[in-house]
Amino acid sequence: MTDKYISKDGLNGLIASVKASGGRFVAPVLDTRQVVYKEVSSAEEIVDDYILPRNSYKEIAFPQTEILAKYELTRDGVTIDPVEIVARDTVVFGARPCEAASLASLNSVFTWDFIDETFTKRQEKVVVLSLGCVDADDECFCTTVNLSPASTEGSDVALYETENGYIVTPLTDKGTAFVSAHSDSFTDVAKGEEKKELVNPEKVEGVDLTKLGERLAKSPNYDNPEWAELTRKCCGCGACTYSCPTCHCFDIIDEGTAFEGERRKNWDACQFNHFTLHASGHNPRDTQYKRYRNRFMCKFHIYPTKFNSTGCVGCGRCIRVCPVRLDITDLMTAMSS
């Protein structure tokens, strides 16, 4: 399919068209002094001057909390009613290319040894319209993990900003089908319509992903005192993991009384003390640096070796949100040597 064009005002038509077909349109909006992905009903709500929303759009396919089943205990026994997975057609507008790459990584986790339908059924219904970045901040480091504002991995339709609109490039079958289904909202690209220049964040000096992976694979390095020295300031909150587009850990809990309640799937974070706490009281990750080490190993060793994908997309959210300014790129540099 050839490139199409949509003006910023024309987005209203697209939003209406998506809504009319029963879908929802998610885009970056301003909420309590922050840019976040939220469902919108008009183009005026969408912000266009942003680096990256605070939250990851992974929450569309992997919500922070969801009910898996309801249970009830009666005289006749226990009844367990699974809750049907509600998957709505969802369009994510303005996803950054770094983040678009992340959903593919998540998919490999949720389909690896067991197909987690709560994720896959929703992900199938998500159409990602990624938007090339025309700005970057100090925390962006996609180029360091071999991605760039021009990356198209995980994206269904690539958008490129122009003076008054966007040039639309469908990339996948899903993307082509989306553009065709809402063809009234798009026009042909007018002559002279020019893409704004994409801005590449600077590569972090001294990072070598191959060396990094090799080093993490060698077991003596696991107990290197450097881990403690570099990461003991970690305060152990879950801000990084909960804003990370590739963190995927969850916990299954029962909520309610002994007689009735619900079984829920909630986000969990390897940064929490009780994440690995055994029933015996023993905790194999008994200090914070060991928990941070796990998160780092997951991104740069487990993901690449197990799923052949990068666990880190360089979005920089974990750096921006960290209350003690623990910078993952500092570790990447240190561990590359």
- 242 is a contact residue toward other proteins (CB under 8 A): yes
Nearer to other proteins, 104 or 249 (CB): 249
- 294 is a contact residue toward other proteins (CB under 8 A): no
Spell out a b/e string for 102-133, using b for 16 or more CB atoms within 10 Å of the CB, else e: bbbbbbbbbeeeeebebbbebbebbbbbbbbb
Q: Min. distance of Cβ 141 from other proteins in angstroms?
A: 11
- 39 is a contact residue toward other proteins (CB under 8 A): no
Among 91-99, 209-217, 270-278, 302-310, which window interacts with other proteins (CB under 8 A)?
A: 270-278
Strands of the sheet with 34-39, listed across from one edge: 34-39, 24-31, 90-95, 126-131, 157-161, 165-170, 4-7, 187-188
- 337 is a contact residue toward other proteins (CB under 8 A): no
Distance CA 237, CA 269 (A): 8
Nearer to other proteins, 233 or 306 (CB): 233
Strands of the sheet with 65-74, listed across from one edge: 77-82, 65-74, 260-267, 250-256
Q: Min. distance of Cβ 106 from other proteins in angstroms?
A: 17
Nearest to 254 by CA among 265, 270, 267, 269: 265
Q: Min. distance of Cβ 247 from other proteins in angstroms?
A: 11
* DSSP code string of 30-69: EETTEEEEEE-SSGGGB--S-S--SS-THHHHS-SEEEEE
What is the footprint of other proteins within residues 107-126 (CB under 8 A)?
none
The DSSP bridge partners found for residue 270 are: none
Q: What are the phi and psi torsion angles at 171 (to 5°)?
A: -115, -40
What is the footprint of other proteins within residues 133-152 (CB under 8 A)?
138
C-alpha distances (whole Å) from 2 to each of 167, 170, 176, 184 are: 10, 8, 10, 15
Is the backbone of residue 22 left (phi > 0), alpha (psi -120 to 50) or beta?
A: left
Distance CA 132, CA 134 (A): 7
Nearer to other proteins, 157 or 297 (CB): 297
- 252 is a contact residue toward other proteins (CB under 8 A): no
- 88 is a contact residue toward other proteins (CB under 8 A): no
Nearer to other proteins, 122 or 265 (CB): 265
3-state secondary structure of 150: coil
Which one among 20, 22, 32, 219 touches other proteins, defined by CB under 8 A? 32
What tokens were used for 170? 């469908």
Nearer to other proteins, 135 or 163 (CB): 135
Nearer to other proteins, 104 or 277 (CB): 277
Q: Min. distance of Cβ 137 from other proteins in angstroms?
A: 10
- 228 is a contact residue toward other proteins (CB under 8 A): yes
Among 123-131, 163-171, 176-184, 238-246, which window interacts with other proteins (CB under 8 A)?
A: 238-246
Q: Min. distance of Cβ 303 from other proteins in angstroms?
A: 22
Among 109-117, 171-179, 280-288, 306-314, which window interacts with other proteins (CB under 8 A)?
A: 280-288
C-alpha distances (whole Å) from 121 to each of 88, 155, 331 are: 9, 17, 36
Query: CA 176: distance to chain centroid?
Result: 23
What tokens were used for 121? 């059924």
Nearer to other proteins, 105 or 241 (CB): 241
3-state secondary structure of 289: helix
Which one among 243, 309, 310, 336 touches other proteins, defined by CB under 8 A? 243
The residues binding other proteins (CB under 8 A) are 31-34, 54, 64-65, 138, 228-229, 232-233, 235-239, 241-243, 251, 253-255, 264, 266-267, 269, 272-274, 277, 286-289, 321, 323-327, 329-330, 333
